[in-house]
Amino acid sequence: MGRPPVPTHLKRDRRLVVMLTEEEMLKLATLAKDAGSASLSDWVREALLSSAAGERA
């Protein structure tokens, strides 16, 4: 028995590719870990969306 399906409105099925140096990747991973994020992807998504919302204000 697997995990229950994710509701359609919450499903993340689009990919954004960003190229980083090893140093940049380590810095972001450290920041995500220090923030207690479940994953680097979650942390980056939240940071981008928060930044984008702040620029519109």
Tens-level pLDDT at each residue, the chain (57 residues): 798 998 999 899 999 999 999 999 999 999 999 999 999 999 999 999 999 999 776
Measured distance CA(35)–CA(20) in Å, rounded: 20
Q: Is residue 35 classed exposed, middle or buried when 0-12, 13-18 and 19+ CB atoms within 10 A define those classes?
A: exposed
The dihedral of CA 17, 14, 43, 1: what is its sign? negative
Q: How far is CA 6 from CA 9, 22, 26, 43, in A?
A: 8, 33, 30, 20
